[in-house]
Amino acid sequence: MLGTTASVRGLTSHDLPMVRALLDRDPGVNVFLRHRVDVTGLRERIVGGRVWGYFDGGDLVSACHAGSNIVPAEATLDAVEAFAEQVLLDGIRPASVAGLQSVVMPLWERLAPFLGPARSIRPIQPFLVLDHDPAKRSDPRVRRVTMDEFDILYPACVDMFIEEVGVDPETSGGHGYRARVAQLISQGWAFAIIEEGEVLFKTEVGAASPHACQLQGVWVRPDRRGTGVSSAALAAVVRQVQQDVAPIATLYVNDHNAAARAAYRRVGFREAATFASVLL
């Protein structure tokens, strides 16, 4: 139960200055939630989930995105307990719980008896940061994808999603996934190497703030894996996003994906934290 001075409530546009200040304590780790805050302006009519604040004595201590993804930020152990209570009280059935390992795992321990079993628990996901020029030379073939190339890029996005998440987005809300891919292309956040009408490499910016951006969906066509394509291609993407989107590039990766982790090290990414994800 919450203490007498603690409370959880949905944040509104009036809370924007203090929630941004909270999230900017760690702009790389908190980029997803900062992006959601900036995109929605914390207006309640915006679809896609609310953002809760955990207050103690009137001070905003922690925040949490509450929708298809549960993503806590700057969460204390008391806030974790409070957010878990609120998830259950509101009857939220998320598709995932993600964020810092030190927060996600105790949050899931509290939620598991009610929302489990999980489809996949990924307890160790190194969170990587690159805040300087990449160590690799850029592949000049990498460029932003245009809207008239949607039908070329989309199958690669589906293949990546199935590999990474373990479900086919076409059979689990396909219209929403298609719309999301189209949105990323229209924003100039989708990058690829496309040759003879086929995608050899692709990745997207999934979230961004004035301080940092988060890359997602890094994918290399299976027959080109192990050939060194990804490092030079990702270096090209990082240079472009550092110039046009945000100065710090971030991503997180499953710990067992040794090939990807090695490629990211070659580009110049360093490990800055440990994430965890629970897929439902």
The CATH number of whichever domain residue 257 belongs to comes to: 3.40.630.30
Tokens 């086919």 correspond to what residue? 168
81 within some domain: yes
**Residue 69 and residue 182 in one domain:** no
In three-state secondary structure terms, 3 is: coil
Q: Kindly report, residue by residue over 59-101, the tens digit of the pLDDT.
A: 999 999 998 899 999 999 999 999 999 999 999 999 999 999 9
Structure tokens at 124: 């160790």
User: 78 vs 82, 100, 107, 180, 219, CA distance in Å?
Assistant: 6, 15, 10, 34, 38
DSSP class of residue 188 equals: T
**Residue 87 and residue 164 in one domain:** no
Range of the domain at 232: 130-275
User: 63 vs 15, 32, 68, 169, CA distance in Å?
Assistant: 11, 12, 16, 28
**Residue 250 and residue 139 in one domain:** yes
125 within some domain: no
Q: Kindly report, residue by residue over 210-262, the tens digit of the pLDDT.
A: 999 999 999 999 999 888 899 999 999 999 999 999 999 999 999 999 999 99
190 within some domain: yes
Instruction: Give the type of residue at 66.
Output: A
50 within some domain: yes
Q: Domain ends where: 86, 116, 146?
A: 116
Q: What is the pTM of this model?
A: 0.92
